[in-house]
Structure 1
C-alpha cells in the first residue's frame, strides 16, 4: 500500500492500479492518499507556501497519525516552510555530523579524546 501511495500514478503497473479500487472502498485510505500526494507535490516542487493549506486539510480529516505529524510541523512551521521552499539544505553538514557520531560510538570506552580527535580529522 505504501509503495502505491508514494509512486507516481503513471508509473504504477496494472496490478498496482488496483489502488483506485481499494481507495474507493476505504475513505480513510483515500484521504491519506490525497494528503500524501499533496505533500509530495509540495516537497518535489518546492511549494512550501502551500503548507498551511495542507495542514488545514489534514486537520479536517479524522486521521490521528497525521494530526500528530501536523502538530509536530506546527512547532517549527517557519523552518519547515523554508525547507520546502528554498534550494539550500544542510545535508552535507548532517552527513559529517552523522559520521563523527559513528566514530565516537565506535571509540566509546576504548581510547581518550586525543585518539578520537585524530580519527575524526583523518577520516574522509
Structure 2
C-alpha cells in the first residue's frame, strides 16, 4: 500500500477524481490510519470509540465491519 503523499501525479489526480465521485470515501483514509494505530499500539480500549465513529458514516459496508468486530470484540481485543 502506498502512502497517498508518495503517489505519482497521475495517480494523485485519479484518486482525487474517484473521491470526488464518491464523497463517502473521504473518511476511509482516517479510519484506516486510526485502526492501524490502535493495532500498532495495542490500544484496544480505543476500539469502541473507533467503531462508534465509523458507524456514523453512511456506508453500510463499514457498518458490516463494525458489526462483525462488535460480535467478536472479546477475541479481537484479547492479547
Q: With the length of structure 2 as denominator, give the TM-score of the two structures.
A: 0.72
Specify whether residues 10 and 44 from structure 1 end up closer, same or farther in structure 2 by C-alpha distance, changes over 3 A only. Answer: farther
Q: Partner of 2:36 in structure 1?
A: 40
Q: Partner of 2:71 in structure 1?
A: 75
**Structure 1 residue 39: deviation in Å?**
1.4
**Structure 1 residue 66: deviation in Å?**
0.9
CA distance in 2, matches of 1:11, 1:49: 32
Matches within 5 A, 1:78-89: 78-82=74-78, 86=79
Shift >4 Å, 4+ stretches: none
Structure 1: which 5+ residue stretches go unaligned?
1-5, 87-124
Residue 15 in structure 1 maps to residue 6 in structure 2:
no
**Structure 1 residue 21: deviation in Å?**
5.6
CA distance in 2, matches of 1:21, 1:45: 33
Structure 2: which 5+ residue stretches go unaligned?
none
Q: With the length of structure 1 as denominator, give the TM-score of the two structures.
A: 0.50
